[in-house]
Amino acid sequence: MPEAKPPQRPAPAAAPAAARPANRNAAPAPAAAQPAAAPAQSQQQEHDDGADPAASHRAHFLLFNAMPSWMVSMVFHIVLLMLLALLTFGVDGEKLLNEFTMGPDNDNVEEIEEFEEMEFEEIDVESTEFDNTELTPVETEIQTPEPVEVAANDLDQAAMKVVEFDPLGATSMPNNPSALATVGAFTGSGLDGRGSAESRSKLAKANGGSDASEAAVALALKWIVSRQAADGGWNFNHNLSINPVPCPDPGSADKARNGATAMALLPLFGAGQTHKEGTYKKQVHAGLSYLIRSMKVNGRTGSWHEAEGSMYSHGLCSIAMCEAYAMTHDKELLAPAQLCLNFIVYAQDPVGGGWRYSPRQAGDTSAVGWQLMALKSGHMAYLEVPPGTVLGAMKFLDSVQANSGAEYGYTGPAEGRAATSAVGLLCRMYLGWKHDNPGLQRGVEIIDKRGPSKNDMYYNYYATQVCRHYEGEVWERWNGRTRDWLVKSQEKDGAKAGSWWFGGGGHANDRGGRLYTTAMATMMLEVYYRHLPIYRKQAAEEEFKL
């Protein structure tokens, strides 16, 4: 099915007038240069017609002698301002990424696989001046795993607020207290719990984690980085990596390299690992470099849409890039983070408000979940998220809800769908539903009664977040049924040490393989500090500014 070509100035139709579209600075029309060219054209025509020198002399006299000096100055300054406007507004996202560099952390590595082009026309981002990590195999035979020690990130201890940015975020994250006032459905940046090993340990113990669950996270991260490819990315076929030791249960979606790379980076970020701090900072740096190289830029949008991954890959990569920027305040990640959000804005279904496989296609709840989580991550990173895009997502959720908002279907209303219902409820939480909303309460009761799945990690991942944010007895019961089960079921020996595999079936287990199930299980064990609870201090407004 042919896909639409993204325009140079996407802007959601539903956005209020106050919203600033993510890519509004399109280059001015060439006609702006015509006034300066007209005199030369006129003079050339006179010359061709054989105009006499006396007429030319009279025109020269009138222009420089009879005309007041202030008028000559005014004409000169008008032409100058028009030329400056052409220079100022003619920059696009591709040029910014071509000038982007992440700094000299690593040695050059070579690409091992060509990416399949998107079906709609895009502009390839040229490779930037990276010093990429020379990756070496990580030993996975561990007798006594130790928790990962990470230096603290200087995360701002305040909540998200909408801050006005230009389309490519040409400024850094604000650090002043007034700009970081408490806004939204929860207090704090949302990522504050990841700051240091000490803070994560305290939050884990306070919220239901244990020393064993933290050791399992450390062991899982070691397995994940051991399966990194030589070009800095990951592959759902985890045997296509720098690790020469084969490991069973690779995924079949080996062309979804972007999605696999994001899936590997997210649990690293959850444990406080960044390209600036942490035991695995070189591996994280290489992964981010890979994503930036693979981004396709078209005007003001940057896409990670790919074969076997489609908008799912783009949503995952966008979450990863926005989290990396939010955690480090690294200005060099600003352009790719805003460009990927711009693509989400463009790709939204203009009628139903959702997302699916291709840009502007009628949505499904699964794809909407990843895109909305990306928008939330961008919102917490102080990037531009048009209110109209958020309103469109709310409209889509309204169209697929059942049982008065307690359950959600895939592309239409349906009851009894565990995974999409968990996705829908988490989206509702982030879009402002209060703790006492009847639909939310019924939905949480259904999850509590159903309990965790033994093989569907997609459902478990979303349901874990819903119960964690809801807190109370529901969370205590859910955590009691998942934490120790995950710790015990983790592989402890050989090439599989640190990973999980729950068999085929489930949601994407076969396609994502052991890398996918390991990443999802790890993020479930990081839930104690990965995101701070939404309702810990209930605010009066929605998290997203509408």
Identify the CATH number of the domain in which residue 358 sits. Answer: 1.50.10.20
- Alpha-helical segments (H) within 271-309: 281-294
User: Which distant-in-sequence residues (6+ apart) come within 8 Å of 74 by Cβ?
Assistant: none
| 116: Cα within 13 Å, side-chain hemisphere | 11
Across-strand partners of 402? 407
Q: What count of other Cβ atoms lies within 10 Å of the Cβ of residue 533? A: 19
Domain assignment of residue 422, given as a range: 153-525
Over residues 155-164, the pLDDT tens digits come to 222 222 232 3
Q: What count of other Cβ atoms lies within 10 Å of the Cβ of residue 294? A: 22
Domain membership of residue 271 (yes or no) is: yes
Over residues 90-140, the pLDDT tens digits come to 445 555 565 444 443 444 333 323 323 333 333 233 333 333 434 444 343
Domain membership of residue 126 (yes or no) is: no
pLDDT of 275 reads 98
Same domain, yes or no: 355 and 444: yes
The answer to pTM > 0.85 is no
pLDDT of 355 reads 99
Number of compact structural domains in the chain: 2
pLDDT of 161 reads 29
Domain end point (choices 62, 88, 114): 88
Which residues does the chain have with pLDDT short of 70? 1-195, 536-546
pLDDT of 526 reads 98
Domain membership of residue 180 (yes or no) is: yes
Same domain, yes or no: 41 and 182: no
Domain end point (choices 71, 88, 105): 88
pLDDT of 167 reads 37
Same domain, yes or no: 84 and 168: no
Question: Can you tell me the distance from the alpha carbon of 256 to that of 148, in angstroms, rounded to the nearest whole number?
Answer: 29
Same domain, yes or no: 185 and 43: no
DSSP annotation string for 339-384 = HHHHHHHHHS-TTT----SSTTPPP-HHHHHHHHHHHHHHHHTT--
pLDDT of 92 reads 55
- Alpha-helical segments (H) within 6-130: 34-48, 53-61, 69-88, 93-98
User: Which distant-in-sequence residues (6+ apart) come within 8 Å of 202 by Cβ?
Assistant: none
Element (H, E) at 407: strand 407-408
pLDDT of 99 reads 47
pLDDT of 194 reads 61
Domain membership of residue 435 (yes or no) is: yes
Domain membership of residue 443 (yes or no) is: yes
pLDDT of 338 reads 98
Same domain, yes or no: 440 and 335: yes
Same domain, yes or no: 240 and 352: yes
